[in-house]
Structure 1
Amino acid sequence: MARLAVVGATGRTGRLVVERALAAGHHVTAVARRPENLGLDHPRLTRRAADVLDPGALREALAGLHIVVSALGSAGRGPTTVYSAGTAAIIAALPPDARLMVISSAGLSVPADAGPGTRLLGRVLHRLMRDTYADMAQMEELLAGSGLRWTAVRPTGLTDRPGTGRPRVSIGATGRVGNRTSRADLAAFVVDRLDDPSTFGRPVAVSS
């Protein structure tokens, strides 16, 4: 079983990743500004308090770990640097051979086989979420230059519905997937593909 860290562990997606990883038998370090808010107790769970914008604290929290899942997120639609700055700090804290999976968004690109409705929705979302998407795009640029075994997981619209157990996946994010993604399905995909080399160095679109 692996030893991994989940950064942003107290968010709605991060918590589910922690739960899924523990259920799979992994040892999990939950990293958040207030990890006590996770509300979980488990013999294979370690909590570490760190702000992703504090590189020293983050480096200490991730010491000795070679697998990291970033479930960082920003509130609202205004300007943000949480994705790019947080990912830069994570990259700096990891050794060269580390594995890093980050949660991004399927809205960053429109598949070549997308219909007119999907293309229109994509244009609308890019206007509404332009600041968030710009920061996510910068995050993915940082990943591409990091030298790590990275994956940018791009879910479609997130929901809190129960998982289907059958997530739809497009390696390379070039094909269509569904319009909605259960956070439970997203967490399952992340944990199940921790060691999948077909996802290394690539974006992957995911939906329920």
Structure 2
Amino acid sequence: MTSLAVVAATGRTGRLVVERALAAGHSVTAVARDPAALGLDHPHLTRRAADVMDPARLREALAGHDIVVSALGSTGRGPTTLYSAGTAAIIAALPPAARLVVISSAGLATPADAGPAARLFGRVLHHVMRHPYADMDRMEHLLAGTSLSWTAVRPTGLTDRPGTGRPRVSLGATERLGTRTSRADLAAFIIDHLDDPLTFGRPVAVSSLP
């Protein structure tokens, strides 16, 4: 049994990560501003109240955990520092060799094998989402400067559809994948690859099939 903490555990993605981890037999600490909103009861579930913008409370909530999944996500398209500042606070709370998985976006880069239509869509999306993407980019640069075993998981457009159980994956986020990713497939990939060294120290793009 692995003990891990999930930051932003009450969001739509965070909750699914918690559920998947518990189903896999892990011991989970759900970290959120209001962890009671998770609405789950399980003998291997612990709740901790903390805000990523309160480093002292966050450090207390993450104490004793060497594996952390961050499901932080901003709302809207305006300027934000949630990804970079929140991840910086998590990094500061972890031991140097800890495992940290964060959720980023496939929109940060256009794969080399993308066709003209996909490239055009990527440019438009990058312009529309330029503020969140800029902060995700800052977040990934922060991770690259650490000694952590980190992974930035980059899903394509997130949906609440049921998981396919067959996510498509691009290590290094270099290949074109599907345009949509169910949150269930995203959560499954994260938990199923917690110990996968092939994902360490790099971005990994994920999408659902078909």
TM-score, length-scaled by structure 2: 0.98
How far apart in 2 are the matches of 1:36 and 1:196?
Answer: 31
Per-residue Cα deviation, 1:42-75 (whole angstroms, up to 9, x for no partner): 0000000000011100000000000000000111
How far apart in 2 are the matches of 1:73 and 1:40?
Answer: 21
How far apart in 2 are the matches of 1:117 and 1:23?
Answer: 40
> Residue 98 of structure 2 corresponds to which residue in structure 1?
98
Per-residue Cα deviation, 1:167-207 (whole angstroms, up to 9, x for no partner): 00000000111100000000000000000000000000000
How far apart in 2 are the matches of 1:196 and 1:168?
Answer: 16
> Residue 185 of structure 1 corresponds to which residue in structure 2?
185
Q: How does 1:80-159 map to 2 (within 5 A)?
A: 80-159=80-159
- Residue 39 of structure 1: how far off its partner (Å): 0.5
> Residue 19 of structure 1 corresponds to which residue in structure 2?
19
After the TM superposition, which parts of structure 1 deviate over 4 Å for at least 4 consecutive aligned residues?
Answer: none
Q: Which amino acid aligns with 2:130?
A: R
Identical positions, percent: 81
How far apart in 2 are the matches of 1:48 and 1:82?
Answer: 19
Gap regions ≥5 residues in structure 2: none
RMSD of aligned alpha carbons:
0.4
Q: Which amino acid aligns with 2:13?
A: T
SS at match of 1:124: helix
Q: Which amino acid aligns with 1:159?
A: T
Per-residue Cα deviation, 1:11-68 (whole angstroms, up to 9, x for no partner): 0000000000000000000000010100000000000000001110000000000000
SS at match of 2:30: strand
Q: Which amino acid aligns with 1:2?
A: T
- Residue 146 of structure 1: how far off its partner (Å): 1.2
Q: How does 1:60-99 map to 2 (within 5 A)?
A: 60-99=60-99
How far apart in 2 are the matches of 1:67 and 1:59?
Answer: 13
TM-score, length-scaled by structure 1: 0.99
Gap regions ≥5 residues in structure 1: none
Per-residue Cα deviation, 1:77-113 (whole angstroms, up to 9, x for no partner): 1110000000000000000110000000000000000
Q: Which amino acid aligns with 1:192?
A: D
SS at match of 1:206: strand
> Residue 30 of structure 1 corresponds to which residue in structure 2?
30
How far apart in 2 are the matches of 1:187 and 1:116?
Answer: 31
